[in-house]
Amino acid sequence: MLLFSRDKAKAALHQAGLFPVARAVYRSLNREIQKQRWRELEFYSSLLKPNALCFDVGANLGQKSEIFLACGARVIAIEPNPKCQPTLWFQFGRNPRCELVYAAVGEAEGTVELFTHSSDSTASVNPNWDREVFGFKREIESVEVPMTTLDSLISRYGCPDFVKIDVEGFETQVIKGLSTKVALLSFEYHAKEIERASKCLSMLEQMGKISVRASDMHCKWLGPETESADCLRLIQSMNARGDLFVRSNI
């Protein structure tokens, strides 16, 4: 009941054009959100040099873009979900250190069908994502959105210092569109879907030697930087989820 009530409230705010403002006020007053923000700021400050170029692939509502900008980075925020666009523009549209790209990222230029639910900011090219995330099926909508590649983004903006990928299970397709090594890249992992993480790492290893380190959902390292196989075994032993950080020698 609470979930559906929240959905209705969000839908009403979106319809009135007030959601970006309401969200900003709520996040500024929510102590847990602010604590998480400071944890992330401390975590990413240790990874990003001032003026680093970051690609935020699957920017959603800009949660990570906000952190990267606070670290002094320049950000290309890439998000295909039309429902996220008003909030992204409200937050970053006038920021000269952030450019918004309204597109999905995959293995080739073109278009792709994106599945969304009501006013939710989350979306996926996987039509079953809603059931997998929430445990039950809700009514979903689909929209065709433009799709670009990491190679195309690099050609346009230059080689990034860091690429963050959060694409609800579409990671392998995103990496297929990359032929240039980048210094640091991250993507989400789940112990129960370790095969997908393993495949992503194998694809990145084909471009050269890499080292890997896993963090949990609270920006805490699970272990030292190591080889892919050792990191995957650690994730499985801890039944963990979070982000994998992949470093390449370039």
Judge whether 155 lies within some domain: yes
pLDDT in tens, 32-51: 999 999 999 999 999 999 99
What does the pLDDT average to over 173-187?
A: 97
Tally the domains of the chain: 1
Confidence band (pLDDT; 50, 70, 90) for 166?
very high
Judge whether 32 lies within some domain: yes
Confidence band (pLDDT; 50, 70, 90) for 153?
very high
pLDDT at residue 107 is higher than 90: yes
Judge whether 223 lies within some domain: no
Per-residue model confidence (pLDDT) at position 1: 44
What does the pLDDT average to over 65-93?
A: 96
Per-residue model confidence (pLDDT) at position 217: 93
Judge whether 193 lies within some domain: no
Q: Flag the least confident range among 15-24, 75-84, 212-221.
A: 15-24
Domain that holds residue 140: 2-180
pLDDT in tens, 189-206: 999 889 999 999 999 999
Judge whether 162 lies within some domain: yes
User: Rounded to whole angstroms, what are the CA distances from 145 to 89, 112, 203?
Assistant: 18, 6, 26
Closest by CA position to 119, among listed 82, 167, 81, 83? 83
Contact 81, 61 (CB under 8 A): no
Per-residue model confidence (pLDDT) at position 73: 98
pLDDT at residue 75 is higher than 70: yes
What does the pLDDT average to over 136-158?
A: 89
Percent of the chain exceeding pLDDT 90 equals 76
Per-residue model confidence (pLDDT) at position 218: 93
DSSP summary character for residue 83? G
Per-residue model confidence (pLDDT) at position 163: 98
Judge whether 206 lies within some domain: no
Residue 160: both structure tokens together: 């990034």
DSSP summary character for residue 222? -
Judge whether 250 lies within some domain: no
Judge whether 230 lies within some domain: no
User: Which domain CATH number covers 85?
Assistant: 3.40.50
Strand ranges, E, within the chain: 53-57, 74-78, 98-101, 104-105, 110-116, 123-124, 141-148, 162-165, 184-190, 210-216, 241-248
